[in-house]
Structure 1
């Protein structure tokens, strides 16, 4: 009995061993098959990436190729891409750099007030006495003879203090949500107010009399070039300086439009040589100031520091009114920018104004 049991156990062990060996062989075969399939997919993906890099395909182009594929595995299993910055480039930067503040505007580079002396006043008007004529009778006096008589005329002038003002209406949301809106308003609004101030200081005809309006108008009678002479804009400015010099004033600046300064710099002789130096031009030592405060074709030559003065009652101030009208109901804010000033013109003869075309014609006559 014991012998039979031993034989049966040995047969059972041999059978189990055979079954295990068979299972290991089948398992290894199945694993190898799966590994081979994965290696094939990896090789296919590597070749695809190399092809994309070689062709420089965009993501859209490769996607189109895959959709048009007739490969059943592609259609059944789908497809994927490994996005590389050097190969598949995005159409737009999804993290753009943001520049704070508000751009897209430029302020006038030179304003008229930069040429004048600036003082202050606490009154609503500036009164001053202005000489309007002087007859000089001074001469060598002989003994027993009456000396020569001199006379003068004076007038009291009044320059009224006037307000230059503007206002804007903005929403509270804009002030809170738009980056840089406060600094923009504090910069842009006074700059635009200064443009209106330019108009008044130079060409005002109301309570503020502009210096170009009260100035002596250009005349060629002080110096005639002759009918055969070639006259240019430089000649006009030099004669204007001479007119002011003859009135015993010292010219501090020449104000012209940028286009007229450009014409001066581009003027050439008959042989093509430039007549005047470029850059910081001057006429007889007087600097030429270019500004859009004066219109093209016109000029203003003057003793700005001595001939007139800006008297400020109030400098530029910006005020915010959230309760103006129905602002509180509508969530709006009224912004007011204003200044108060006067312009006494002490010496009319300290300024000469005109336009280049008529001035050149006068010099030719």
Structure 2
């Protein structure tokens, strides 16, 4: 009997738990339905319209509107505002009750409500509430068939790429642009300077200068890659990452061309290729690499140019930075400093493209100029071969430029000691 009473009490208490969107049961009754509110709204709108027509007619006829009519109109307008508020509130509640759409609008129900409406509980109560009944809640785990499909790995937005070499060879040169497929310029090939003091009425000395017309063709540097449309759409950073990778690839190839291009085929005629061969202007006993680079700067200076930089292999520059004195102190480097690479007062461009045993020094901005015909362009298309039917995209990047080395004598190249 006690068990029967306890379960009955449980059922009674459970039914008293308010459901979401219902009144609290303290004399308020159920909420009006949306259909009821819409019906009342229509009736009230009709009353307001009727009052408006009546007022318009009496105003046109010059008749006075009674105070009673005014009060009824005010009441109708007040009811109209209240009904609109109720409809808005009910619409918000219905929207909150929806879970994933569908024809039905589920409600959030209490645990007690779920128990008393459970078929097993109803059968247990109809049988006299004899014995014990239990309810189990299915465990939510990461196993298949449970919540496994709901557990999504956290994805970090950053895409980790391969480290990139710092490219700065272009920065040493004078920038320019062209609208043609080649750039012609006059390059001085000989200079005989006979300038000297001259007596009055005497014959002035003649100097000799020779130029040659040189053509620097515009070259195209390009590459492409394939990627699926799904990867492009599903990974937020993929498009920008791919764009960056393709641009880096062009810059990397450009760096090699500007330095070592041999001018054959579609290659640029590069700086190192056209530079003057190093020849020590003076002899230095026990010369080191550091001495050699200073002598190369001197060679540029003796050719009447002001050197403004040098290019070394990364390993060669690291070897110079690690040079120590007899006490073990660094001569050129300060491990705690953040200063950029500088040697003999000139900036050092450290790049693998020049080759481990080579160096290049000179007055770069005076010696050469880049003419960009087309800035780096990255284009995406599904109209390449069978891309459309395979849902693939071809991403292509290219740039066009010409390199004019006007003064090869302002550049000195050589092999490091």
TM-score by length of 1: 0.68
CA shift, 1:261, in A, is: 1.6
Specify the alignment match of 2:189 in structure 1.
Answer: 132
For 2:196, what is the secondary structure of its paired residue? Answer: coil
Q: Are 1:233 and 2:292 counterparts?
A: no
Q: Deviations over 1:218-260 (max 9, x none)?
A: 112x01113xx2x222111111111111112121211112221
Specify the alignment match of 2:414 in structure 1.
Answer: 354
Gaps of 5+ in 1: 1-23, 25-93, 358-365
Specify the alignment match of 1:290 in structure 2.
Answer: 350
Q: Deviations over 1:78-112 (max 9, x none)?
A: xxxxxxxxxxxxxxxx8865310311322222232
- Please give the residue correspondences for 1:1-365 in structure 2 after superposition, counting only pairs within 5 Å: 97-206=154-263, 207-220=267-280, 222-226=281-285, 229=286, 231-278=287-334, 279-357=339-417
Q: Is the 8 A contact 1:111 1:293 kept in 2?
A: no
Query: How far apart are the structure 2 equivalents of 1:126 and 1:303?
Result: 21
Query: How far apart are the structure 2 equivalents of 1:267 and 1:260?
Result: 11
Gaps of 5+ in 2: 3-150
Query: How far apart are the structure 2 equivalents of 1:107 and 1:214?
Result: 28
For 1:344, what is the secondary structure of its paired residue? Answer: strand
Change (3 A) 1:281 1:330: closer
Q: Is the 8 A contact 2:310 2:361 kept in 1?
A: yes
For 2:354, what is the secondary structure of its paired residue? Answer: coil
Change (3 A) 1:316 1:234: same
Change (3 A) 1:129 1:117: same
Query: How far apart are the structure 1 equivalents of 2:344 and 2:410?
Result: 17
Specify the alignment match of 2:117 in structure 1.
Answer: none
Query: How far apart are the structure 2 equivalents of 1:139 and 1:112?
Result: 40
Which range is displaced more, 108-117 or 315-324? 108-117
Change (3 A) 1:125 1:233: same
Q: Is the 8 A contact 1:108 1:291 kept in 2?
A: yes
Aligned-pair RMSD on alpha carbons?
A: 2.0
Q: Deviations over 1:287-320 (max 9, x none)?
A: 2222233322221112121110110000100011
Which range is displaced more, 255-264 or 303-312? 255-264
Query: How far apart are the structure 2 equivalents of 1:284 and 1:216?
Result: 20
TM-score by length of 2: 0.59
Write out the 4+ residue segments of structure 1 that deviate beyond 4 Å after TM superposition.
94-97
Change (3 A) 1:281 1:102: closer
CA shift, 1:351, in A, is: 0.9
Query: How far apart are the structure 2 equivalents of 1:162 and 1:215?
Result: 20
Query: How far apart are the structure 2 equivalents of 1:325 and 1:343?
Result: 34
